[in-house]
Structures are given as structure tokens and as C-alpha cells.
């Protein structure tokens, strides 16, 4: 490579996608990552890779979507239960072309992205934690914790929720954080005794004290998401020992030694006040730019859309457009996630009553069951990556 590379900060799914998208435009890329090359990434986190995201990834590296979908899992059955009684069940015919989504652990998605980056000629610098950023009209200089200084014309910052680049630029996050928390558990399948390949959502599951629970398959296992009640304490539900106590009530006995990862999450809805600096040298993408609760699969999917848009903006000199359009998408997604949360963790009694009435009517009015099925994910769950984008 001879030209000055575009620098990407952070080798999460969004930074890796940005690097690929830049290489697809034949721009040289240097990717700075704080962690060592042989790091272990935690848990499954984002499972759901949407069809539109697959299309973006395939444009970055032809064949990548097929690699990912042939590894991931697609279920055709979705079920919803209310207090243990089924209120919705639908099995869709398998699609003829690319599936509407694929489900795999984020560590696996990142593995595919990282391999693709290697093949595309992305230059990686591991153990390169960015601690300072200085932006002028003529360029950017980044300081790393090991004393390294990197100068370039343009930076795509994908350094996650605690973005040092965003902090260095003094760009605040704006939004809210909700009360309470949920517990996310990855569980390995029992070989030969896999649970049915379906996504199941339980309102007020009787096996776990009336808390709502979702089970989502991924390759090799499934993720269970438990919505805790307002007065719950994390140590009662969110430790591995606690999970061993409540998990049988949700998926039956025999999984205590198959727990892969447990974590508790709070509900943040935040969007950066700006997605670029006044000189339009740095572009914020992914969780460096926005934080959404996981329901609705907006985080990684919209982050990859940011990455595609950022690479285009760098290549075409349209950073201001990128910043406006992707921030609008972030605000839209934040709003949609808020609607989902109001349904999932109703603060008003009327919402609970409406859900109860819909569950009672579902056997005779299928639209009530359908509403209970769709509402936990919020509006436009079907297209989280593209909301508000023009790229």
C-alpha cells in the first residue's frame, strides 16, 4: 500500500465491516485494536444478522453472506405464549433465495469478518489502544497507550460503547437509560437432543415467577433472555449459580453444565450528539455512535449499515451527509427501541391489561395473537439496518 491508509479504530463487528467496505473501494486500511490478536470475545451478544445486513456484507466481500448463512441457523417457526398458554404460532415456508436472517453467535460473525479482512488486505495493529485524538482541518492524529502516534486523513471510530475517540472529540451521548435489567444466557445444545428450531417468547412465564423470557436458537445452542422485575437483584438472577436455579423452569432439566455465558444488561438508549467532528475527519459508527437495547436486533445490524455508509462517505467526500443520515437512523432506532421497551417492560398498568386482554382474545381473534407476537421488538423490526439511510 502506498497511499495513507484510512484508520479504523476497533475490531468489533462494525470496525471489521468498515475495514472491509473501505477495501472494497480499494482504499488502504489500518485497523487499530486495543486487544491482543489472540483475545477471547465474550458471549453470543448479537445473534440475528438481517437479510439487508447480509446484502451489505456481500457487497463488501462477495461470497461473505453465503459463508455466514451456511454456518448460521434460520428458523421458520415463531411462537408466543402468555402465562404458559400459546397465543401465536406460525411456521413459514423456507425462502427460495437468501434467508430473511441468520442466527449465529457474534464471536462467529466476527470470525468470518476477520478472515475476510485478512483476505482483503486489511492491515491490523493489535495492542493498539487509542487514548488521544487531535483533529485539524488537514488531518487527524491518534495517540496510543504504547506511545505510538498515527497520523491520517480520515478515521472511522468503531471503538464501542466507551469510545475513547468520541470522548477525545468531546462529543456527548444523548438519551436515556431505563430502569431494571435483563439476564442473557448462552446455553450449548445437548447433542442429539436439540430443542426445536424455533424462536419462542413467553409473556409472564409461570416457570420463572411470571417474568418474560425469550429463547432464540443459534448454531450450537440457544440464548435465553430473562426480563427481570423492577425489584429483582442481579445476584438473584444474573450469576451462573442463580441461572442454574431458574433455567430448568424455562427449558427443562439437563442444562446446568451447558451454560456458556451469563451476563446482565441495562437498557440504554443513547445517540451521539454528532456522528462527526467539526472538520469532518472522524466518523463515528456502531456503539461508538449509538446504544440500543438488544430486543429488535438493532445494534450490530445498524452498526454495519453505519460502516457501509461511512466507507462510502470517505470514498466520495460526503461525510456531512453520512453524519446527518446515520444520526437520523440512530434516532429512529432509539425511538423504535423505546416503543419495544414500553411493551416489554410496561410501566403503566393499562399496557399490562391490554396484553392480558389480547391473550384472552387470541384464540378467536388471531390479530390479537399477532400483536402479542410482534410488539416486543418494536416498529420496523424487519429493517433495523436501513432505517433512515440513503446509502
Ligand X SMILES: Cc1cc2nc3c(=O)[nH]c(=O)nc-3n(C[C@H](O)[C@H](O)[C@H](O)COP(=O)(O)OP(=O)(O)OC[C@H]3O[C@@H](n4cnc5c(N)ncnc54)[C@H](O)[C@@H]3O)c2cc1C
**Closer residue to ligand X, CB minimum distance, 226 or 313:** 226
Smallest distance, ligand X to C-beta of residue 40, A: 12
- Residue at shortest CB range from ligand X: 12
**Closer residue to ligand X, CB minimum distance, 87 or 270:** 270
**Closer residue to ligand X, CB minimum distance, 52 or 287:** 287
DSSP 73: B
Length of the chain: 391
State the pairing for strand pair 123-125/101-103. Answer: unpaired
**Closer residue to ligand X, CB minimum distance, 305 or 362:** 305
Question: How is 212-268 classified by DSSP, letter by letter?
Answer: EEEEEEETTEEEEEEE--TT--HHHHSSHHHHHHHHHHHH-SS-GGGEEEEEEEEEE
**Closer residue to ligand X, CB minimum distance, 314 or 362:** 314
Smallest distance, ligand X to C-beta of residue 316, A: 23
The residue assigned the cell 397465543 is 87
CA-nearest of 141, 266, 276, 251 to 186 is 251
Query: What is the arrangement of strands in the sheet containing 282-284, beginning at the earlier edge strand?
Result: 123-125, 29-32, 6-9, 155-157, 282-284
Q: How far apart are CA 387 and CA 325, in angstroms?
A: 9
CA-nearest of 225, 195, 172, 204 to 73 is 195
Q: How far apart are CA 73 and CA 189, in angstroms?
A: 13
Tally of CA atoms within 13 A in the half-sphere of 33 that contains its CB: 21
Smallest distance, ligand X to C-beta of residue 382, A: 13
- Judge whether 226 and 183 are in contact, CB under 8 Å: yes
Smallest distance, ligand X to C-beta of residue 32, A: 5
Angle formed by the axes of helices 51-60 and 299-316, nearest 10°: 40
Smallest distance, ligand X to C-beta of residue 103, A: 8
**Closer residue to ligand X, CB minimum distance, 5 or 369:** 5
Smallest distance, ligand X to C-beta of residue 364, A: 33
Smallest distance, ligand X to C-beta of residue 190, A: 23
Phi/psi at 339 (5° precision):
-65, -45
Interface with ligand X by CB under 6 A: which residues? Answer: 9-15, 32-35, 45-48, 106, 129-130, 158-160, 164, 184, 265, 286-287, 294, 297-301, 303
**Closer residue to ligand X, CB minimum distance, 24 or 126:** 126
Smallest distance, ligand X to C-beta of residue 44, A: 7
**Closer residue to ligand X, CB minimum distance, 86 or 335:** 335
Tally of CA atoms within 13 A in the half-sphere of 13 that contains its CB: 29
Q: How far apart are CA 156 and CA 132, in angstroms?
A: 14
Smallest distance, ligand X to C-beta of residue 331, A: 16
**Closer residue to ligand X, CB minimum distance, 160 or 220:** 160
DSSP 330: H
Amino acid at each position: 500500500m502506498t497511499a495513507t491508509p484510512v484508520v479504523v479504530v476497533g475490531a468489533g463487528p462494525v470496525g471489521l465491516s468498515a475495514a472491509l467496505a473501505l477495501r472494497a473501494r480499494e482504499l488502504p486500511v489500518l485497523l487499530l485494536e486495543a486487544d491482543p490478536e489472540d483475545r477471547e470475545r465474550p458471549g453470543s451478544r448479537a445473534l440475528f444478522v438481517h437479510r439487508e445486513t447480509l446484502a451489505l456484507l456481500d457487497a463488501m466481500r462477495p461470497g461473505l453472506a453465503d459463508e455466514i448463512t451456511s454456518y448460521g441457523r434460520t428458523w421458520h417457526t415463531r411462537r408466543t405464549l402468555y402465562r404458559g398458554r400459546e397465543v401465536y404460532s406460525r411456521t413459514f415456508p423456507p425462502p427460495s433465495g437468501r434467508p430473511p436472517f441468520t442466527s449465529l453467535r457474534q464471536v462467529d460473525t466476527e470470525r468470518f469478518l476477520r478472515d475476510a479482512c485478512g483476505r482483503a488486505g486489511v492491515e491490523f495493529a493489535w495492542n493498539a489502544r487509542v487514548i488521544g485524538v487531535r483533529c485539524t482541518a488537514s488531518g487527524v492524529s491518534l495517540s496510543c497507550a504504547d506511545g505510538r502516534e498515527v497520523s491520517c486523513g480520515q478515521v472511522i471510530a468503531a471503538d464501542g460503547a466507551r469510545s475513547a475517540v468520541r470522548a477525545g472529540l468531546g462529543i456527548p451521548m444523548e438519551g436515556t437509560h431505563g430502569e431494571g435489567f435483563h439476564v442473557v444466557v448462552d446455553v450449548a445444545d445437548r447433542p442429539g437432543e436439540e430443542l426445536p428450531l424455533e424462536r419462542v417468547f413467553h409473556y409472564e412465564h409461570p416457570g420463572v415467577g411470571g417474568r418474560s423470557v425469550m429463547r432464540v436458537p443459534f448454531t450450537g445452542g440457544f440464548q435465553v433472555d430473562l426480563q427481570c422485575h423492577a425489584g429483582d437483584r442481579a445476584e438473584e438472577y444474573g450469576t451462573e449459580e442463580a441461572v442454574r436455579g431458574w433455567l430448568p423452569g424455562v427449558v427443562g432439566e439437563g442444562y446446568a453444565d451447558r451454560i456458556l455465558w451469563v451476563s446482565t444488561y441495562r437498557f440504554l438508549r443513547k445517540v451521539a450528539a454528532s456522528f462527526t467532528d467539526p472538520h469532518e475527519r472522524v466518523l463515528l459508527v456502531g456503539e461508538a455512535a449509538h446504544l440500543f437495547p438488544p430486543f429488535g436486533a438493532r445494534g450490530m445490524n445498524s452498526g454495519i449499515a453505519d460502516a457501509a455508509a461511512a466507507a462510502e462517505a470517505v470514498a466520495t467526500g460526503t461525510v456531512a451527509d453520512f453524519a446527518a443520515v446515520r444520526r437520523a437512523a440512530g434516532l429512529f432506532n432509539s425511538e423504535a427501541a423505546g416503543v419495544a421497551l414500553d411493551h416489554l417492560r410496561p410501566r403503566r398498568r393499562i399496557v399490562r391489561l391490554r396484553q392480558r386482554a389480547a391473550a384472552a382474545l387470541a384464540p378467536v381473534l388471531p390479530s390479537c395473537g399477532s400483536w402479542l407476537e410482534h410488539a416486543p421488538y418494536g416498529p420496523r423490526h424487519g429493517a433495523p439496518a436501513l432505517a433512515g439511510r440513503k446509502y
